[in-house]
Structure 1
Amino acid sequence: MALDLYVDAKTKQIFAEPGPGRTKLGSFEKVEDTVAKKVEADNQTQKAEIDKIKQDLELKTNELKALDEHIVAQREDRAKNDEKWFNKINVRGYTQMRYNQPLTGDRVAGEPELKSVGDGSIGNNSGFSLRRVRLVFSGDMNDYISLYLQPDFATTNGDLHFAQLRDAYADLAFDKEHEYRVRAGQSKVPFGWENLQSSQNRLTLDRDDALNSAVPSERDLGLFAYWSPTDVQKLWKGLTKKGLKTSGDYGVLGLGIYNGQGVNKSEANDNLYLVAHSTYPIELNFLGSWMRGQVLEVGADVMSGRFNFTPTEYQNPFDTTSTTQTPVNASTSRSSSEDRVGVHAILFPQPFGLQAEWNWGAGPTLNPNIDRSSTAGISGVIERQALNGGYVQAMYKIDEVFGTKGTMIPYVKWQTYDGAWKGSANAPRVSVDEVEAGVEYQINKALELTLAYSTMNRTYISNLTSTDYLRQASGDMIRTQLQFNY
């Protein structure tokens, strides 16, 4: 309790009680009691504050725990969704728009029309065409199974709106690195190097006729086994990152069996085609610092099978005495064997590059010579004849064109082929001699422009009933292509 104190005005003495001449000084408490009460009050205040902080921390901790549980649940839901096949499919594609302008030889009266099996828009009418309109759906279903589907919506044979199935296959791997795998479905047949190269990546506008004649449209339905060591996979991926054009991963070694009748066609006999493919990229660092980073890829292929034909009448240009169409000897045209062997060598352009392929063999070929001794009036036969041909190509890669990230690759390509084109009715024998010089300008990843000049000499095989059938056509042409990648 407080104590009242008084002071005497005269004596200055302190009294605890009031009296005459005393003045009240005030009420006083013991110092020790006041400090203790104050400390106790402060402690109570601090305790309350600490309790409040603890309560807030507990609430925040519970909130964070709930948030973590929510995030974990979302991850689990996402993982479950990712396991669904439709969340693993990637979509990409490209479109190629072309314009071909004949310069000479295509409109000369009495001369056969200049046509190419590689580009149906080459003809007596110049104009725009859609060479390819591709969509690719691909994805890994798990560590061992991959799917690939590619339709095409391109101009072909004069049709502006045309759809067809190009690829539909699954890769079944035996290890997570995909060193050993089997490809089942419709896919590219591993014969040649340029045949396997995607048209999205290929430098020249068309594939060469000599190797492409082995597998027109490059695809068929079958089973193919591939072996790709991880070190080679890594090297191919490294070349792709540099902007170099590989043929894709079709194995260092590949073996396959397939129908052999062509893309999107059913088997026509009891004999499957066999194919063996080999290729290997060699780093040339051992040749010295001047070859550091250079890569040379070499390989060889072989194929064998039997191709069926349905005899089709044609106009024989070598029979000057008859204007009627020539029938084909059905007794020898139903099935004929084909055997080929090919070799390739590619020095990737860093910056100068070379590319060459050649193949030899024999296969079913139309012999249009007249046989008047035949009592059945047969004037042509399909028989086994030799074939050979290939190409040589040189190119030079120029990066950062015009001070941008664009790339320019000028090139020149010579090709020749003497042999059957089995993709056409009756497998007519064709003679091809062509030189193409051009430049591809990769403006950016989404846009490419190719300009080329071609001088051609080709056998006309587009119209069996034409009087120009099997005659030679030649001419010069300016060719352009605008490619959109997406």
Structure 2
Amino acid sequence: VQLKADEEKRQVKEFEESRGVGDVPIRERWYEKISIRGYTQFRYNNSTNNNLLINQQGDRSIGKNDEFFLRRARVIVSGQPHERVFIYVQPEFASLLSGTEQTVTLRDWYADLFLTENKEWRIRAGLSKVPFGFENMQSSQNRLGLDRNDAINSAQNNERDLGLFLYYAPTHVRERFRRLVDSGLKGSGDYGMLGIGVYNGQTANKRDANKDKHVVFHSMYPMEFPNGQMFQVGMDAYTGQFNVSTAPVVPLTGVPNEQVLGGFSPILRNGGNYLDERVAWHFVLFPQPFGLQGEYTIGRGPELNRARTEVTSGTLRGGYLQLFYNYRCESLCESVMPFVRAQEYYGAKKHEANAPKNTVREVEVGLEYRFNQALELTVEYTWTQRSSADSSTIPASCADNSLGSGAPACTQTPYQLQSGNLVRFQLQWSF
């Protein structure tokens, strides 16, 4: 059997070598058009001085138990079954579902339909990233900081939604996008130089909750100077109606005591649909060897009022600035990237029940040590202050109005501002 297989391989090789330039090529087999790759992020977080400090929008393992945690476990299947069609599927094996960790959910399932032979124009259909911001587009596999910044990421939880997106990028721009990723310069990938899209607006893996669709406008341009230095600027904007959910919360004043203790859900207007619109800017001086990166956003969206009795419309703003350095190793490693990063966000968490107000101020200092293309270690120290996602009052009796002055002091109030320090480690392997 082995001899027969070797003989068949030899005959195929001889036939290939004998083919003329004008010969019709042998039809590719289906598995020759499919690529499989992936990566895993294994973490340990140590909260040094505040067990109530949590980050539901980012790393949900941050908290009192200082646990080992699979932050991401991705397998990516992609391919081009036709010269005008590219497919991409990415499941996540480290999701949380009904309290169970390491469950499987879908992150991407889309097709790129090329409108021109040179592939400069394409329509992306399905579940994919919404083109808003730089870090949201950048793969977590390539990002320096362990979590995305809160300001830009609060626009689109999990960065994805179901929709149709039209992208345009000249061939030379697409080549730059590809080179910025392949060369290890922390690029975002190819989401077009210009883009426009229509999507549901309720985030990934959720049914649309209203008839309104979100519309996004996208632009980014990577420049290359004569000395080889790469610099990118971009601007994105979207608008739509976001549907807010509610959950019982203890209000400050103006609600009968029996409603307080039984749980009071804030009032919603317009069926829970609120104007959701933002604009964001970014710039990136890619690390050759010094790098500087920043983003900023402003906008309006749903927000729980100060009395915690009604969801209203509020303004938001925030962004970050990151300084980093790319040291290329000659032995023992491929690269070392130290970085320092500061971020702020003043707005709300529209994806959480009641759209509570959210204040974030954070400084991170870290280092990414890349052993080789398949393995890297990131160590990070964080000084952080952020609003809690917890809507409960501890103890519950501190909200009992009937006790008057006899009510105990609250050790925790809903959405309380928490401060603390974190020591964080991440081991990432790719295949």
Q: Could you say which TM-score interval applies, normalised by the shorter chain?
A: 0.7 to 0.9
Distance 1:67 1:328 in 2: 75
Give the drift of 1:102.
1.0
SS of 1:329's equivalent?
coil
Contact 2:49 2:420 in 1 (8 A): yes
Matches within 5 A, 1:126-165: 126-156=66-96, 159-165=100-106
Equivalent residue, structure 2, for 1:400 = 329
Equivalent residue, structure 2, for 1:219 = 160
Distance 2:44 2:135 in 1: 23
Closer, same or farther: CA 462–152 of 1 in aligned 2, 3 Å:
farther
Closer, same or farther: CA 368–171 of 1 in aligned 2, 3 Å:
same
1:175-221 C-alpha deviation (Å, 9 max, x unpaired): 23311000000000000010000001111101000000001100000
SS of 2:100's equivalent?
coil
User: Is residue 2:296 matched to residue 1:358?
Assistant: yes
User: Is residue 2:345 matched to residue 1:417?
Assistant: yes
Contact 1:100 1:477 in 2 (8 A): yes
Give the drift of 1:266.
1.1
Equivalent residue, structure 1, for 2:118 = 177
Closer, same or farther: CA 78–96 of 1 in aligned 2, 3 Å:
farther
Q: Which moved more, 1:206-215 or 1:292-301?
A: 292-301
1:453 to 381, 385, 388: 381
Distance 2:383 2:423 in 1: 9
Matches within 5 A, 1:366-405: 366-369=304-307, 380-400=309-329, 403-405=331-333
Give the drift of 1:136.
0.2
Equivalent residue, structure 1, for 2:241 = 306
Closer, same or farther: CA 414–70 of 1 in aligned 2, 3 Å:
closer
Distance 2:234 2:282 in 1: 5
User: Is residue 2:169 matched to residue 1:228?
Assistant: yes
User: Is residue 2:220 matched to residue 1:282?
Assistant: no
Distance 2:335 2:360 in 1: 31
User: Is residue 2:35 matched to residue 1:94?
Assistant: no
Distance 2:268 2:234 in 1: 39
What 5-or-longer segments of structure 1 have no aligned partner? 1-65, 107-111, 286-291, 371-379
1:406-435 C-alpha deviation (Å, 9 max, x unpaired): 200000110100111111112111000011
How many positions carry a matched residue from both structures? 398
What 5-or-longer segments of structure 2 have no aligned partner? 1-9, 395-411
Distance 1:267 1:146 in 2: 26
User: Is residue 2:183 matched to residue 1:242?
Assistant: yes
Closer, same or farther: CA 180–144 of 1 in aligned 2, 3 Å:
same
Distance 1:153 1:465 in 2: 34
Instruction: Output the amino acid matched with 1:353.
Output: G
Seq. identity, %:
42
SS of 1:162's equivalent?
strand
Distance 1:484 1:79 in 2: 36
Contact 2:278 2:298 in 1 (8 A): yes
2:415 to 456, 467, 470: 470
Contact 1:325 1:465 in 2 (8 A): no
Instruction: Output the amino acid matched with 1:71.
Output: F
Instruction: Output the amino acid matched with 1:471.
Output: Q
Equivalent residue, structure 2, for 1:339 = 277
Contact 2:250 2:393 in 1 (8 A): yes
Contact 1:236 1:246 in 2 (8 A): yes
Instruction: Output the amino acid matched with 1:138.
Output: S
Equivalent residue, structure 2, for 1:27 = none
Contact 2:305 2:312 in 1 (8 A): yes
1:70-96 C-alpha deviation (Å, 9 max, x unpaired): 8369999993352x3x44111000000
2:356 to 405, 422, 428: 428
Give the drift of 1:269.
0.7
Matches within 5 A, 1:55-74: 71=15
Pair member with larger Rg: 1
Contact 1:132 1:154 in 2 (8 A): yes
Give the drift of 1:363.
0.5
SS of 1:240's equivalent?
helix
Q: Which moved more, 1:387-396 or 1:238-247?
A: 238-247
Q: Which moved more, 1:468-477 or 1:343-352?
A: 468-477
User: Is residue 2:288 matched to residue 1:325?
Assistant: no
Distance 1:296 1:213 in 2: 26
Give the drift of 1:309.
2.1
TM (normalized to structure 2)? Answer: 0.87
Backbone CA RMSD of aligned residues = 2.5
Distance 1:266 1:221 in 2: 9
Contact 1:332 1:383 in 2 (8 A): no
Contact 2:53 2:62 in 1 (8 A): no
